[in-house]
Structures are given as structure tokens and as C-alpha cells.
Amino acid sequence: MELENFTTDFKHIAIEGVIGAGKTSLTLKLSKFLNARPVLEEFEENPFLDKFYDDIQHYAFQTQIFFLLSRFKQQQQLTQMDIFEQMIISDYMFEKDKIFAYLNLQDDELRLYESLVSLLEKSVPKPDLVVYLQCNVDHLMANIRKRGRKFERSISKEYIQGLNEAYNYFFFRYKSTPLLIVNADQIDFVNDENDFNRLASEILKPRKVAEYYNPILK
């Protein structure tokens, strides 16, 4: 399947999913395939992340605010550089920050967070398409263990279960942009070129509403 066979009006595609869903892998592969600019979340720069997974309640607010400001700064840099003239594939969307906030923050922390995010999100451009990689918890945990990141070693299955439920709740009600929900449990877009090509073709189809892609049925 040749690159020239693909055409799309999308200039900014955001790949989303729970930790371990394959967001960054798909972003990098799709960016290379389409000669687009990859934009990757700078999670390793968060100095609170290691402590967060060991003590979520104590370090949730610091971790959350660092991520919020880091994501905002990155989005502003893209806008100022006028990068949106070139196609962008990102491995996160700014709005997803709220998923973690509502899952992890206490009520008083959440009120402060909401006052801050309401000011920031007004100047962040929305992607033209969001792709949500939906996975079951066992799949997510297997991928997390396989890649072996030091700061993820203490992530519990219970935390991923809660996060997965929060993501599903968010995206089943998401209406801000066109959305493609992908059943990622039965697809290997990293190692299987046929799987990747079919998924890429599905992603680049024009759409204005939420749609579901189940590769088992294709």
C-alpha cells in the first residue's frame, strides 16, 4: 500500500489511550508513513512521576499540575511556530488531562485545578481527529510490563482498571471533534504491516462523528 494512495483533510491527528495502549508507537509509525511531524508527550521530564506511582494520593496534585503546564507549553509552542501548516500526529490530546485529574485529585485540589485549566484550554487548538485505542486491562498490563519502564513498575492492576474505566467514560461521551474508537486488543499495528495499513486507511477516512473500528469484523 503506497503513501500516495492516502489523502486526507486532517492536519492534526491525536492518538489517545490508557497507559500501555500503544499511543506513542502508533504515532511514530503513522508519522513516518505519512511524512508528518510527530508530537510526543514529555512524560519523562515530570520529576514527580516516580513518586506518584508509589504514593498516588500524596503526589497526585504535583504530578497533575506539572503535566498540565507541560502539555500547555508544548501546544503553545506548536501554535507559535505555525507547525499546523504541516500534518501533525500527536500521542496525546490536551483535553485528556482532565481524565487523570478527576480520577486522582481530592475535592479541594480539583477546584484549584479546574480554575487553572479553564483559563488554559481556551487557547489550545483542538485536533481534527482523535483516535482512541481501546484495550482491556490484561492487554494494557502486559504491554506495561513488556516495555519495563522504571517508573511504571509499581503501577497496580487496580489503578489501570480505574483509569481504563475513566477513559471509556470520557470517550463514549466525547463530542468535541471527530473520533475513531479502535478495538486495539485484536490488532498488532507495530509488528504486522497488514494490520497497520488497514488501521492507517481507517484513520484517514473522512468522518464528522464518532465511529468504531473493530478489525475482527473487517
| pLDDT tens column, 37-89 | 999 998 888 999 989 988 999 999 999 999 999 999 998 887 766 555 678 99
CATH topology of domain 3-217: Rossmann fold (3.40.50)
- Assign 217 a pLDDT band (cuts: 50, 70, 90): low
Report the alpha-carbon distance of residue 55 to residue 37 in Å, rounded.
Answer: 36
DSSP string covering 35-68: TPEEE---GGG-TTHHHHHH-HHHHHHHHHHHHH
DSSP string covering 88-155: EEES--GGGHHHHHHHH--HHHHHHHHHHHHHHGGGSPPPSEEEEEE--HHHHHHHHHHHT-GGGTT-
What pLDDT sits at residue 85? 66
User: Is 97 assigned a catalytic role?
Assistant: no
What pLDDT sits at residue 1? 44
pTM: 0.91
Report the alpha-carbon distance of residue 37 to residue 125 in Å, rounded.
Answer: 16
Pair 12, 208: CB distance under 8 Å: no
What residue ranges do the domains of the chain occupy? 3-217
Selecting among 9, 55, 91, 107, the annotated active-site residue is 91
pLDDT tens digits for range 125-183? 899 999 999 999 999 999 999 988 888 888 999 999 999 999 999 999 999 999 999 99
Average pLDDT rounded to a whole number, residues 97-126? 95
